[in-house]
Amino acid sequence: MSTPLRLGIAGLGTVGIGTVKIVQHHAGLLARRAGREIVVTAVSARNRSKNRDADISGYEWEDDPVALARRDDVDVFVELMGGSNGPALAATKAAIETGKDVVTANKAMLAIHGQKLALAAEEHGRVIRFEAAVAGGIPVVKALTEGLAGNEIRRVMGVMNGTCNYILTRMESAGLPYAEVFEEARQLGYLEADPNLDVGGIDAGHKLSLLAAIAFGTKVAFDAVELEGIGRISIDDIRRAGDMGYKIKLLGVAQMTGRGLEQRMSPCLVPAESPLGQLQGGTNMVVLEGDSVGQIVLRGAGAGEGPTASAVMSDVIEIARGARISTFGQPAATLADPVPAKATAPAPHYLRMALSDKPGALAKVATVLGEEGISIDRMRQYHHADSTAPVLIVTHKTTRDAIDHALKRLPATGVVSGEPVAIRIETV
């Protein structure tokens, strides 16, 4: 058997320790599958004395992850620190410059610096693998770069943030308001230190931008992702969408159109009986559509020690086997500059509003919608105890521009109380 593949692991949090455990517990299995032994030679983390759920006493310790990345006894630098800049970026650059391959779970770093890092890796004859950065244990990066490499990808879509899916499904099952479930998620440790990374759609937007680059052969364009979080979704929206046969999900969608690359991460309604509609808790799901293969649905754990460490090790084994795949599935120099495009494809929309209990109120709303070219598919009015009545409308296919124009005009009718809510209904 050939010489061992030597890992230097920077970051010994949940995923880092999970990776150490796999190397320690499955040494023989890994060696048989990779064709060579895989060992950890050195590690780095912020706190050397922290009590960890794995024995790391046999590994060399580096306080500085950049020093770890430059060590001569490290072949693959495993970056599990996180953060778009700072030590993670500095150490990744150092690893590439000194001839190391890189395995990372850092979607923020790649979403912002991915193109430059990919070019640098290719210049030095190295690879960057990041299966663990997108959808935890789901092998979606490999599905796109390998399994579906013979397809023209039509659309990438999915629920890619388990925390948001937990919040939305928990609101529904327990009948609790958003603020209460948000606090519950915080207490359980599900939220990032900056919660807006989760509930604002940023974390999932990072992941979507990486998948879009692979799927459509473009440079990563996170800045062009249309982002809307789940903070405005009420328990009433969830219940009433359910009455109409839908579930609300924070859904990422990327597709190439005649106008350019659409990338959006926003709350959408999906049919309750669809695979996405049935997704519960912290589970992730990615839907890939290719011209030859049709629709592929990948579902699994989107985070956590085991699933994410599993993805890290899949990349390590790929490198150990000698596989050399460009970071985004094709040479970085051939990736096109994307032309960002707003989501202009017509779609049905869900509208919720409170109407004054006056004769002709509904007719005034219907008139505004009709003048904007919006036709009503279904409508439901709920019983009410005060001077306003909750009304739900599901439209036929229409553009978001038409919806936005109508929403701006509705207050002038004098019959709409508060701010109406509009959510796109996605076909899956």
d(CA 286, CA 139): 10
d(CA 274, CA 401): 27
Q: Who's near 181: CB < 8 A, 6+ residues apart?
A: 167, 170, 171, 174
d(CA 255, CA 240): 29
Asked if residue 356 lies in contact with residue 415, where contact means CB atoms within 8 angstroms, the answer is yes
How many of the other CB atoms lie within 10 Å of CB of 55?
10
Question: Which tokens hold the place of 195?
Answer: 């919660």
- DSSP structure class, residue 276: T
- Which burial class, exposed, middle or buried, applies to 292 when counting CB atoms under 10 A from its CB (0-12, 13-18, 19+)? exposed
- Which burial class, exposed, middle or buried, applies to 72 when counting CB atoms under 10 A from its CB (0-12, 13-18, 19+)? exposed
d(CA 205, CA 209): 6
d(CA 282, CA 304): 10
**Alpha-carbon distances of 118 from 20, 48, 125, 144, 171, rounded to whole Å:** 26, 31, 10, 17, 41
Asked if residue 31 lies in contact with residue 23, where contact means CB atoms within 8 angstroms, the answer is no
Q: State the catalytic residues.
A: 207
d(CA 282, CA 278): 12
Asked if residue 205 lies in contact with residue 225, where contact means CB atoms within 8 angstroms, the answer is yes
d(CA 79, CA 27): 21
